[in-house]
Structure 1
Amino acid sequence: MGSGAAGAAASGGAPLSLRHAVAITVGVVIGAGIFKTPSLVAAQVPSLGWMLALWAAGGVVALIGALCYAELSSTYASTGGEYHFLRQAFGRVVAMLYAWARFTVITTGSIALLAHVFGDYMSQVLDLGESSSAVYAVLVIAALTAVNLRGIRSGAEMQWWFTAVEVLGLLLVVAAALFWLLGGQSAPAPAPEAVAATTSWAGLGFAMVFVLLTFGGWNDAAYISADLADRRAIARALVLSVAFITALYLLVNWAYWQVLGLSGMAASQAVASDALTAVFGPLGGKFIAAMVAMAALTSINATMIVGARTASALGQDWPALRFLGDWDAVRRVPRHATWVQSLLALLLVGLGLGHQSGFQAMVEYTAPVFWLFFLMVGLALFRLRRIDGARERPFRVPLYPVLPALFCASCAYMLWSSLAFVSTQRLAGLNAAWIGVAVLASGLLLWAVMAWRARQA
Structure 2
Amino acid sequence: MTQPIDAGPKRHLGVFQALLVTLGMVITTDILKTAPTVALNVGAEHFYWVWVLGGVLSMVGALCFAEMATAFPHPGGDYHFLRRTYGDRVGFLFAWSRFAVLHTGWIALSAFLFGDYFNAVLPLGAHGSALYAGGLIAALVLVNLLGVRVGFATQTVLVSLLTLGFFSIVAAGVWLAWQGVEAPLPAFPAEPEQTGVAGFSAAMIFVFLAFGGWSDAATLSAEVRDGQRGMFIAMLGALTVLLGIYLALNWAFVGGLGFDGLAASAAPAVELLQRAFGSFGVLIILPVVAVAAIASINSTLMVGARTTYAAARDVPSLHRLGTWDDSRGVPRRALVVEGAFALLLVVFGSLANSGFNAMVEYMTPVYWLFLALSSLALILLRRRHPEVPRPIRVPLYPVLPLLFFALCLYMLWSSLAYVGYGAFLGVAVLAVGVVLQLLLSGRRSDGVVEVTP
**Same fold (TM > 0.5):** yes
The match for 2:337 is 340
Decide which of 416, 429, 433 is 1:439's aligned counterpart: 429
Aligned to 2:303: 306
From the superposition, tell whether residues 131 and 436 of structure 1 become closer, same or farther in structure 2 (CA, over 3 Å): closer
Any idea what SS the aligned residue of 2:258 has?
helix
Matched, 1:72 2:62: no
Q: Select which of 110, 113, 116 maps to 1:117.
A: 113
Equivalent residues of 1:35, 1:272 under 8 A apart? yes
Q: Is the 8 A contact 1:122 1:290 kept in 2?
A: no
1:33 equivalent in structure 2: 30
Q: Is the 8 A contact 2:185 2:261 kept in 1?
A: no
Cα distance change of structure 1 residues 359 and 31 upon mapping to structure 2, 3 Å threshold: closer
Deviates more, 1:393-402 or 1:126-135: 126-135
1:318 maps to which of 315, 320, 325: 315
CA distance, structure 2, for counterparts of residue 197 and residue 331 of structure 1: 50
Which amino acid is the alignment partner of residue 343 of structure 2?
L
Paired position in structure 1 for 2:247: 250
The correspondence of residues 196-235 of structure 1 with structure 2, limited to 5 A, is: 196=192, 200-232=196-228, 233-235=230-232
Secondary structure at the counterpart of residue 366 of structure 1: helix
Corresponding residue number in structure 1 for 2:152 = 156
* Cα pair 2:316 2:445 within 8 Å, conserved: no
Contact 2:104–2:342 (8 Å) recurs in 1: yes
CA contact (8 A) 1:366 1:435 kept: no
| 8 Å contact from structure 2 (residues 189, 264) kept in 1 | no
In the alignment, is residue 415 of structure 1 matched against residue 415 of structure 2? no
Q: Structure 1 residues 146 and 433, CA, compared in 2 at 3 Å: closer, same or farther?
A: closer
Gaps of 5+ in 2: 1-6, 448-453
Distance 1:127 1:435 in 2: 31
CA contact (8 A) 1:311 1:324 kept: yes
**Structure 1 position 278, deviation (Å):** 1.9
Do residues 183 (structure 1) and 183 (structure 2) align? Answer: no
Instruction: Give the letter for the 1:160 counterpart.
Output: T
2-structure distance, mates of 1:277, 1:190: 15
Q: Which amino acid in the other structure matches residue 320 of structure 2?
A: F
Cα offset for 1:277? 1.6
For residue 315 of structure 1, report the CA deviation from its aligned partner. Answer: 0.7
Secondary structure of the residue aligned to 2:326 is coil
Alignment of 1:55-94 (within 5 A): 55-94=51-90
**Structure 1 residues 330 and 14, CA gap change in structure 2 (3 angstroms):** farther
Q: Which amino acid aligns with 1:179?
A: W
Report Cα offsets for 1:15-62 as digits up to 9, x if no partner: 011121111111121112111100000101221x41100001110011
Shift of residue 187, structure 1, vs aligned partner: 3.7
Q: How many residues align?
A: 439
Correspondence 1:335-414 to 2 at 5 A: 335-357=332-354, 361=358, 364-414=361-411
Q: 1:147 is matched with which residue?
A: 143
Residues 377 and 438 (structure 1 numbering): CA distance in 2 closer, same or farther, change over 3 Å?
same
1:448 matched to 2:412? The reply is: no
> In structure 2, the residue corresponding to 1:15 is in which secondary structure?
coil
TM-score normalised by length of structure 1: 0.91
Shift of residue 203, structure 1, vs aligned partner? 0.6
CA deviation after TM superposition for structure 1 residue 133, in Å: 2.7
Contact 1:312 1:326 in 2 (8 A): yes
CA distance in 1, matches of 2:81, 2:328: 24
In 1, Cα distance between equivalents of 2:436 and 2:424 = 18
How far does residue 294 in structure 1 lie from its aligned partner after superposition?
1.2
CA deviation map 1:326-356 (0-9, x unaligned):
1123433111110011111112222222212
Q: Check the 8 A contact 2:166/2:249 in 1, yes or no.
A: yes
Contact 1:24–1:159 (CA under 8 A) maintained in structure 2? yes
- TM-score w.r.t. the length of structure 2 is 0.91
Supply the distance in 2 between the matched residues of 1:375 and 1:278 (Cα, whole angstroms): 43
Distance verdict in 2 for CA 1:456–1:342, change over 3 Å = closer
Q: Could you say which residue in structure 1 is the equivalent of 2:282?
A: 285
Can you list the C-alpha shifts for 1:95-153, whole angstroms capped at 9, x where unaligned? Answer: 11111011012111211221111122233454566754333222221221111112222
- Write the deviation string for residues 181-204 of structure 1: whole angstroms up to 9, x where unpaired: 010113446899635599511110
Distance 1:445 1:368 in 2: 20
2 CA distance for matches of 1:190 and 1:404?
43
Q: Report percent identity of matched pairs.
A: 46
Quick check: 1:206–1:417 contact (8 Å CA) kept in 2? Answer: yes
Q: Which amino acid aligns with 2:108?
A: A
5+ long unaligned stretches in structure 1: 1-8, 424-430
Q: Structure 2: how far apart are the matches of 1:91 and 1:198?
A: 40
